[in-house]
Amino acid sequence: MYLTDLWKCPPAAHTRLSDKSVFNNEIAGLLCVVAIRLPAYICAVFLTTAVCFLSAAPYSSLAAFETFDSSARQIGLKNAVFSLYASGGEKDILLSASNPNTITINGLTYTSVSSTQFDSRLNYGAVNAKILFNPGDNAYYWIRVKAGESQFKIPVPGDGDNVFSGGNFYGVGFGLRKQILPATIVTPAFAVDMGADFTTSRYNRYKSKNAVWTADSRLNNVELQLGALLTFRAKRRLSFLEPTVGLKVSRVYTTLSDYDTFERIEGIKDAVGISGALRFKLRGDGTESVVLESEWGAERVISCGMTVALF
């Protein structure tokens, strides 16, 4: 299989496989181990949501918001918050492939290179763990790890999608958030968030039309992101709710490598997205909460999980 032909006809020299969906039992086991350590009322909310997302997300039109627990509220000095959440969905990716062309003019041969850009989509479902901590200054920092399953789709005009699948999905990210203005009775809290995220997927199956073939390919994404967040105070009767809206700009650098042909194609995509989040405080002081988030733009997003103050 040649990467420069991914949006064309199916490959012809690979071993045929059965087209069966794969469920990640290791992730389900991790959810159970973590869940039994949580308060019972958080377990019920989180496990129900996580099972639904992990079973459906890799094949849906949703995606994971990379700044989960997106709130403009300030974490206290030398405090930390732990987040565990399920996510899944779709992210738009741009790739560019180059092809050499030979031109003959008046008996002389010239070689030129043409470039073709094509849009593609990454669908994935994952379990995420994230820690936000304030070491004692005005900013606080976050680090996140995630694991799950993914599919990578390249649309072919008139022929459906060429799909890479059968691979696990891993990622790590880090960043910082700083509150610029605290919340008042009439104005929301305002904060900025910036960070970097690295994800990688390795695929062992490739599907084109009705044929499924073996593959040995890896997709890497490096994303730089900058966001602005507004968190509002709810009225007294709704004080257990904390709504947040945000705006995010990002740049994603992508490489797709084929280890059978030793080819690699890459691309860069800039994107803008808007987000919304709703925090349900399980305790009045907000030390334990359930959070629902969504984003619209180059990423179509939904995620759900819980946050717990560590100290």
Q: pLDDT tens per residue, the chain (311 residues)?
A: 555 555 554 444 444 444 444 334 444 444 444 444 444 444 444 443 444 444 333 333 322 334 555 676 777 777 899 999 998 888 888 888 766 666 666 667 766 666 677 788 888 888 999 999 988 767 889 999 999 999 898 887 767 778 888 878 899 999 999 989 888 878 899 999 999 999 999 998 888 877 888 888 999 999 999 999 999 988 778 888 889 999 999 999 999 998 888 888 899 999 999 988 998 988 877 788 899 988 888 778 789 999 998 87
Contact 256, 248 (CB under 8 A): no
Q: What is the DSSP letter of 21?
A: -
Return d(Cα 175, Cα 197) in angstroms, integer: 9
What are 150's strand-pairing partners? 124, 167
For residue 116, what are the domain limits? 3-7+22-309
Enumerate long-range contacts of 33-40, CB under 8 Å, 24 or more apart.
Answer: 34/84, 38/306, 39/288
Which residues, in sequence order, are CB contacts of 38 under 8 Å at separation 6+?
46, 306
Enumerate the H helices of 38-102 as residue ranges.
40-56
Tell me the residue type at 248: K
Number of domains in the chain: 1
Return d(Cα 218, Cα 202) in angstroms, integer: 4
Tell me whether residue 15 is in a domain.
no
Tell me whether residue 16 is in a domain.
no
CATH code at position 103: 2.40.160.20
Look up the pTM and report it.
0.72
Return d(Cα 135, Cα 84) in angstroms, integer: 21
